[in-house]
Amino acid sequence: MNTPESPADLVAAEDLLLFVNAAITATGQREFRSGAISQHLSLDFLHTYVRVNYRRVYAACLALDINDHNAARIVLGLLETAGEASTEERRAEGRLIAARLALLPPQRVYRLFGEVRRAGINNRRTRAILRDWLAARPDLGHDAVKYRSGVKTAARHVHLRCPEGPARMAEVGAFLFRPGKLPRYGHPLLDAWRRAHYEQGAVAELPFSVAEGFAARHGMKRAVFLERAAPRMTRLERLRTQEQRAVGDRRPDVDLAVMPLTRLALYVLALPFAQRAARRAELTGALRTAARRAAGGHAGSWGRVHAVLDDSFSSSGSGQKRRRPLAVALACHYLLEALAAPGAYRAVWTSGRGDALLVRPWGPTPLGMRVLDALEPGPGGAVPDRLVIVSDGWDNAPAGLAGEVLRVWRRRLDPGRRTAVVHVNPVYDSEGFDVRRLAAGVPTAGIRDAEDLPALVEIARFAEGRAGAAELHAYLDRRVARFLGAGVGAGVGAEVGDRGAVGDGRPGREAVS
């Protein structure tokens, strides 16, 4: 028999869902309808509120598919307020922080180390976490060349020992703190950096981002430099410089199919329409391959799927997040096609277009009309098993129609819930402290990368109220255990009810209903 949940339990569960949505979508950057300052202020409040009231839950969010910006903020917040945690909590937090730092891009971690230094966080636990991360780097010499200021700041802050002698660590120390002392370095990249000051041939041996500065200093022609540097470029660097390295009609060999799905969608949308049309087979094949890889074991298991995809003008994003909402919708289109049963997928774009490859941000957002189209029974009167709506939630043609359509559908036409409806939103609403919702009875989850869609649909069922707070925290415990490879002691569910109703200034329940 299920134990009745207290109001504090329900409040805590709502707060967790609200914070997870924000941590997935918000990056502190300008959005189409809100500026960077309001984004920062909104995130500052949410992070402080959840950390103070639900510290274990706050730390456990490092195991979820939140974005790197918020993961770094959680790590900084936990390290900065270590005195507020018990010994058991600090031990669990240390494991979560170490596991998450191992997944973050190195430049993001070095930036975090700089914030740790500026915040004056220099206790023994913090230094141990930073030293362990630096010790696990595969090539600290490479980092010293590519992220020199970051490595230098981290090494100074954690009192990293660089012993004298022929060891590579001593060379890194000399490179960072005593430049020019050694006539040459045994590490090939360190020595290439030394020679690149006066030798053009050494420029191509350096990481691309570092080599660009030396190439400009030497006055090298761009085409020549790119040709020489190509073997040392990362996959994304090769993609970004692809057109510059093209010779005549020959395009450099870049395997688009190995790109992450959402990033590939961003690349496709950046191409002119003529190129998209000319390369239709190549681009469509790459998107479908990436989508099948992202679907994994879920491929073909979702039955009949209909999707409403937002390509209105607001999907153009902002100067900092150019075309990001539209790219998420395009990536979700191909992923949902892979998740649906063969031949059982139907997409409806808000603009009415039928060619996904040629979509562009245009026009108003008639979500209500498009939801009606998507709910139309198919051949034989079959209704979809799932309706997925990918939109920023600004239904404005006419305003509010989508919410009313979904309300009537659920109450009058489908009370038995034959069709599972979920709304995924790629845009954070700083004023509402959450992603914008279409209707109270429709679960909404924030989304940043389309690859996370299957996991987000699982989280969305908690927002619908079909699963209770105890199940939500059990799910979070499982995610933490899977993330670490083992349990971490007391589960996050122990936090429920302890401080669930604490905290003046909590966002109103209407923001999470």
pLDDT tens digit string along 312-356? 999 999 988 999 999 999 999 999 999 999 999 999 999 998 899
Q: What pLDDT, on the 0 to 100 scale, is given for residue 465?
A: 58
C-beta pairs of 99-105 under 8 Å, 24+ apart in sequence? 99/62, 99/63, 99/483, 99/484, 100/62, 100/63, 100/71, 100/74, 100/75, 101/75, 101/129, 101/133, 102/133, 102/136, 104/68, 104/71, 104/72, 105/68
Q: Flag whether pLDDT at 165 surpasses 50.
A: no
Overall average pLDDT of the 72-83 stretch:
95
Look over the chain and give the mean of its residue pLDDT values, rounded to a whole number: 86
Cα atoms in the 13 Å half-sphere on the side-chain side of 11: 18
Q: What is the pLDDT of residues 466-491, one digit of tens each?
A: 556 778 888 888 899 999 984 444 45
What is the 3 state secondary structure string of 306-340?
A: EEEECCCHHHHECCCCECHHHHHHHHHHHHHHHHC
Q: Residue 455's pLDDT is what?
A: 85
Q: Domains of the chain, with CATH numbers?
A: 196-258 (no CATH), 262-467 (3.40.50)
Q: What is the mean pLDDT of residues 380-399?
A: 89
pLDDT value at position 286?
95
pLDDT of residue 466: 56
Cβ neighbours around 482 below 10 Å, total? 10
pLDDT digits 0-9 by tens, 9-60: 777 888 888 999 999 999 999 999 999 999 999 999 999 999 999 999 999 9
